[in-house]
Amino acid sequence: MNAREFKNRIYGELASVSKSLASPHRLEIIELLAQGPCSVEYVAGETGLSIATTSHHLQQLKNARLVTIEKRGKYRYYSLSGQQVFKAWKALRELGFSQNAEIERLIRDYRRSHHNLEPITAEELRRRLHEGDALLIDVRPEEEFESGHITSAISIPETELEDRLKDLPKDKEIVAYCRGPLCTMADKAVALLRESGYQAVKLDIGYPEWEMETETGKSEPDNT
């Protein structure tokens, strides 16, 4: 194999990986699988796709070696094949944020229509939790909370929040988080909390980013 053949084959393989990411549905699926293993049925329900379409997208990701399959009883569960997959998705998202003005406009317009909900950073959350000034709630579905969550968080899925408002204190700020910056569950939760007289704010990252930061040396908050 000469140098040109080598380069053609290498770049071709890399292009096949990037091609597998060239779908808004598959990008959303990667963000969902970053929360933990999911069945085809669960992915379909959360993305609004049909089972057949979901299976097709998952197969595309599997062919690119970005996801793996595990059989659990009669169901098949899909997982990201490694943290590098989420890191690649995160890098792509950050590239889009920095280079695409339309993305910035869409986020700005969405926040403006939802009471200008500016999020707080992970560093600020750690400080508030350490000082006992905040209560952290995970508003993702319970299945995702069970797969992994920020240690000090309590699970209150966004769909159940209205019925559980009475259980929340009004003398503490409530910080809500969900899957990540593009997930809207925390935005909806914060809007409901504020309309109900609570102090509330959204965390600017999701559980996968928090877990990644923890693994690279940033400790979990100690609010005991």
- Please list the residues that pair with 137 across neighbouring strands: 154, 176
Mean of per-residue pLDDT scores for the chain: 89
Which residues are annotated as catalytic? 178
Task: Please give the pLDDT value at position 116.
Answer: 63
The pLDDT assigned to 112 comes to 73
**With contact defined as beta carbons under 8 Å apart, do 200 and 176 qualify?**
yes
Residue 222 confidence (pLDDT): 53
Alpha carbons 18 and 22: distance in angstroms, whole number: 7
- Mark whether 115 and 210 lie in a shared domain: yes
Q: Do 65 and 147 belong to one domain?
A: no
Specify the length of the chain in residues: 224
CA–CA separation, 12 vs 15, rounded Å?
5
Residues 128 and 183 in one domain: yes
Kindly state whether residues 210 and 116 are assigned to the same domain: yes
In-domain check, residue 91: no
Question: 81 and 118: one domain?
Answer: no
Q: Which pTM was predicted? A: 0.87
CATH label of the domain that carries residue 50? 1.10.10.10
What's the confidence (pLDDT) of residue 146?
96
Can you give the pLDDT at residue 218?
Answer: 56
80 and 169 share one domain? no
Q: What is the per-residue pLDDT for 149?
A: 96
Residues spanned by the domain of 182 = 110-215
For the chain, what is the domain count? 2
User: How would you label 127-141 residue by residue, b for 16+ Cβ within 10 Å and e otherwise?
Assistant: ebbeeeebbbbbbbb
User: What one-character DSSP code corresponds to residue 159?
Assistant: G
pLDDT at 208: 94
CATH value at residue 195: 3.40.250.10
Cβ(209)–Cβ(91) under 8 Å? no
Is residue 222 situated within a structural domain? Answer: no
Q: Which residues of the chain have pLDDT under 70?
A: 114-116, 215-224
Q: What is the pLDDT of residues 116-160, one digit of tens each?
A: 677 899 999 999 888 888 999 999 999 999 999 999 999 999 999
Domain boundary among 51, 86, 121: 86
In a domain, 93, yes or no: no
Domain for residue 92, yes or no? no
Does the CA dihedral 151-157-162-163 come out positive or negative? negative
Chosen domain end from 86, 120, 150: 86
**For residue 137, which of 87, 83, 89, 188 has the smallest C-alpha distance?**
188
52 and 136 part of one domain: no
Identify whether the C-beta of residue 58 lies closer than 8 Å to the C-beta of residue 67: yes
Give pLDDT, residue 212.
87
